[in-house]
Amino acid sequence: MSDALKTELVNFSELSGEAGSARRAELARHVATLFALTSDRCSDEQVDIYDSVLIRLVDMVETEVRRFVAEQMAGLRRGPEETIRRLADDQIEVAEPLLKKSTVLRDADLVRIADTSGNSHRLAIAHRDVLSEEVTEVLVRRGDLRVKRKIASNEGAVLSDAAMMTLIGDSASDATLQSSLSERGDLAESHIRSLAAVAGEEVRRRLNARGQTTTAERLDEATEIAAQRMSNQYWLGRYDFETARSRVLLLAKRGMVSEATLRRFASEDRFPEAVAAFAWLVRCGVEEVSHWMVRSDPEPFLITAKASGLSAITVGALLSIGPWRHRLSLDDRSRAMKTFERMTVGDAKRKMAHWNHTVLH
Q: Phi, psi (5° rounding) for residue 143?
A: -80, 160
Instruction: Give the model's pLDDT for residue 357.
Output: 47
Closest by alpha carbon to 192, among 180, 205, 182? 182
The pLDDT > 70 percentage for the chain reads 83
CB atoms within 10 A of CB 246: 13
Contact indicator for 10, 47 with CB cutoff of 8 Å: no
Instruction: Give the model's pLDDT for residue 198.
Output: 76
Rounded CA separation 304/288 (Å): 12
95-117 residue pLDDT tens: 999 999 999 999 999 999 999 99
DSSP-based three-state secondary structure for 157 = strand
pLDDT exceeds 90 at position 84: yes
Instruction: Give the model's pLDDT for residue 234.
Output: 67
DSSP-based three-state secondary structure for 131 = strand
CB atoms within 10 A of CB 166: 16
First and final C-alpha spacing in the chain = 38
Provide the angle, in degrees to the nearest 10, between the axes of the packed helices 145-153 and 119-126.
10
Rounded CA separation 292/357 (Å): 11
Domain boundaries, the chain: 1-104, 106-229, 236-360
Per the DSSP assignment, residues forming a β-bridge with 360 are none
Distance of CA 48 to CAs 139, 146, 192, 248, Å? 32, 37, 50, 17
Task: State the average pLDDT over residues 229-245.
Answer: 78
Q: What is the largest CA-CA distance in the chain?
A: 73
Pick the range with the lowest mean pLDDT from 39-43, 203-207, 356-360.
356-360
pLDDT exceeds 60 at position 238: yes
52-68 residue pLDDT tens: 999 999 998 999 999 99
Q: What is the mean pLDDT of the chain?
A: 85
124-167 residue pLDDT tens: 999 999 999 999 999 999 999 999 999 999 989 999 989 999 99
Contact indicator for 172, 198 with CB cutoff of 8 Å: yes
Confidence of residue 206 (pLDDT cuts 50, 70, 90): low
Distance of CA 43 to CAs 35, 94, 172, 233, Å? 11, 27, 53, 26
Instruction: Give the model's pLDDT for residue 14.
Output: 57
Query: How far is CA 93 from its chain centroid?
Result: 22
Instruction: Give the model's pLDDT for residue 262.
Output: 97
The radius of gyration of the chain from alpha carbons, rounded to an integer in Å, stands at 23
